[in-house]
């Protein structure tokens, strides 16, 4: 039975059919609720971002915290039309998470009101307009999420991007002069595109959180890039771009022929491979290839047992675009940042740690499913069936550690990171795997996160932890 999702372009809620097999029925109307009113208020609240030009950081933080408390305790008593059926029975829902997301943005960017305002504009006008346009115009839907319309997503990008750029410009005098205004404007447009794509992922994670985190993440990366350093590197880059393109097209074709990737996986993998080959050189690409081959090989270990238990990888083990982005997207970002400014060592450590985490986690998962004799839940420590989200086994954990050490040693051998980074990278990969297992055990079952999102969180957590550990130990 499909889990209902309360997202912004939804045309009909999913409910169990009378036969109990599951199906789609029309939304049960609630006369006390108006979705149009809700979204208009959602958009209007973005106007408060204009205040960020004049108020101090601590004042913005206090106002956002007050808004969270107001929406928890006072708003339900004052306005009923904004609440969807079931909202008032829960403390945490979209109306509370909206100001909570703004609070998170303000806390994350204490000296960049222009970045906060831009992300807020994307959240307010982009997310809200996607609902209104999707409901009014309908039209074709995304293949991976039939509740989301292409027109709604287009409105998200166009209007959310415009609002983000306008608000960033409005707050530009209250922010430091670097990076430049054109760079921020370009980053806002990219952030709107990424946030619109994230909003179409078919999970129950509230869009207020996912959109704010996606937009804020893109804008944070933009702060790390020095355009002059990027231009200097591009002029003297080695190897040539043509070599990167040819190598990755051939590799993607070979992967598809070997039935290790689907068509979408081959395309996404080729794009990511080109970025990594160009930014991190052949050394980075070798580590990428090694992590991919390790994951693909272990996916086929014990395939008969996995098939019998119903826990084998879908599509015959072929990896799709979502898997490629989830396991190597952070590495591509780190590789690009390593040549575009900031601290090159920390960027390379983040690059290596993300690939080590993605590869070793897949090794642990697949070996655990194939050979694990006893699996337990990370949350309860009780025994659970193999393949259960968040489950761990001694065999899988041991294989994951061996894989992490082997991949980290390869990163050192080819010169990506110094030998002193071995332990921090392995430790960070282990932390990322534990975070993923915990979130998988608690949030994947209810449909709040899916496997690709968990993999992305794993690699991002590993990259962040490794960078922090190396910074502390070398300070």
For 340-399, the pLDDT digits (tens) are 877 899 999 999 999 999 999 999 988 888 887 788 888 888 888 877 788 888 999 999
In the chain, DSSP finds a helix count (H) and a strand count (E) of 18, 6
Domain ranges of the chain: 14-224, 233-474
Task: Give dist(CA 166, CA 235) in Å, integer.
Answer: 33
Determine the pLDDT at residue 464.
96
Given a cut of 70, whether residue 10 has pLDDT beyond it is no
281-304 burial by CB neighbour count: b if 16+ within 10 A, else e?
bbbbbbbbbbbbebbbebbbebbe
Structure confidence at residue 79 (pLDDT): 84
CA atoms within 13 A on the CB side of 183: 16
Q: How many residues does the chain have?
A: 475
Please choose, from the candidates 341, 346, 335, the residue with its C-alpha nearest in 3D space to the C-alpha of residue 285: 335
> Long-range contact list for 425-428, CB < 8 A, 24+ apart?
425/349, 425/352, 425/353, 425/356, 425/462, 425/466, 426/356, 426/401, 427/465, 427/466, 427/469, 428/353, 428/357, 428/461, 428/462, 428/463, 428/464, 428/465, 428/466, 428/469
Q: What is the pLDDT of residue 23?
A: 33
Please report, in angstroms and rounded to a whole number, the separation of the first and last CA atoms in the chain.
53
pLDDT at 305: 66
Radius of gyration for the alpha carbons in the chain, expressed in angstroms and rounded? 23
pLDDT recorded at residue 83: 85
Q: What percent of the chain is modeled with pLDDT above 90?
A: 66
Contact 265, 318 (CB under 8 A): yes
pTM of the model: 0.88
Rounded CA-CA distance 168/175 in Å is: 9
Q: Is 341 left (phi over 0), alpha (psi -120 to 50) or beta?
A: left
* pLDDT tens track for 415-433: 999 999 999 999 999 999 9
Per-residue confidence band for 309, with pLDDT thresholds at 50, 70 and 90: low
pLDDT band at 315 (very low <50, low <70, confident <90, very high): low
Name the β-bridge partners of 23: 15
Q: Specify whether the CB–CB gap between 281 and 239 falls below 8 A.
A: yes
Work out the mean pLDDT of the chain and round it to a whole number: 88
What are the distances in angstroms from CA 186 to CA 161, 223, 331?
Answer: 10, 12, 22
Burial class (CB in 10 A: 0-12, 13-18, 19+), 75: middle
């Amino acid at each position: 039975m499909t889990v209902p999702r309360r997202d912004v372009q939804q045309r009909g809620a999913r409910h169990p059919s009378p036969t109990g097999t599951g199906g789609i029925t029309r939304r049960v109307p609630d006369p006390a609720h108006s979705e149009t009113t809700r979204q208009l208020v959602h958009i209007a609240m973005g106007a408060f971002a204009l205040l960020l030009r004049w108020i101090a950081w601590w004042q913005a933080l206090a106002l956002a915290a007050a808004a969270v408390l107001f929406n928890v305790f006072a708003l339900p008593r004052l306005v009923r039309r904004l609440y969807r059926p079931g909202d008032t029975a829960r403390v945490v829902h979209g109306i509370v998470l909206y100001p909570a997301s703004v609070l998170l943005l303000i806390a994350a960017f204490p000296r960049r009101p222009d970045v906060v305002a831009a992300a807020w504009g994307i959240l307010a006008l982009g997310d809200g307009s996607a609902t209104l346009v999707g409901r009014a115009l309908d039209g074709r839907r995304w293949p991976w999420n039939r509740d989301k319309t292409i027109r709604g997503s287009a409105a998200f990008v166009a209007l959310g991007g415009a609002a983000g750029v306008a608000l960033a410009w409005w707050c530009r005098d209250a922010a430091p002069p670097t990076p430049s205004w054109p760079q921020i404007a370009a980053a806002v447009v990219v952030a709107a595109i990424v946030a619109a794509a994230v909003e179409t992922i078919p999970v129950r994670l509230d869009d207020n959180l996912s959109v704010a985190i996606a937009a804020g993440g893109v804008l944070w990366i933009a702060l790390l890039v020095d355009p002059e350093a990027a231009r200097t590197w591009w002029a003297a880059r080695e190897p040539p771009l043509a070599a990167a393109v040819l190598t990755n097209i051939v590799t993607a074709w070979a992967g598809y022929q070997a039935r290790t990737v689907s068509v979408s996986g081959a395309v996404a993998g080729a794009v990511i491979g080109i970025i990594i080959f160009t930014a991190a050189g052949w050394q980075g690409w070798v580590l990428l290839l090694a992590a991919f081959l390790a994951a693909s090989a272990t996916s086929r270990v014990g395939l008969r047992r996995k098939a019998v238990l119903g826990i084998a990888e879908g599509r015959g083990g072929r990896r799709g675009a979502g898997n490629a982005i989830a396991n190597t997207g952070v590495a591509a970002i780190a590789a690009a940042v390593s040549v575009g400014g900031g601290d090159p060592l920390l960027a390379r450590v983040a690059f290596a740690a993300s690939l080590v985490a993605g590869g070793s986690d897949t090794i642990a998962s697949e070996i655990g499913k194939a050979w694990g004799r006893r699996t337990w839940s990370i949350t309860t420590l009780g025994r659970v069936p193999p393949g259960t989200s968040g489950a761990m086994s001694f065999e899988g954990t041991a294989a994951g550690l061996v894989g992490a050490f082997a991949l980290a040693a390869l990163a050192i051998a080819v010169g990506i990171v110094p030998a002193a980074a071995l332990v921090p990278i392995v430790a960070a990969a282990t932390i990322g795997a534990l975070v993923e297992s915990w979130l998988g055990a608690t949030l994947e079952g209810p449909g709040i996160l899916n496997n690709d999102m968990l993999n992305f969180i794993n690699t991002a957590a590993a990259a962040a932890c490794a960078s922090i550990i190396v910074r502390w130990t070398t300070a």
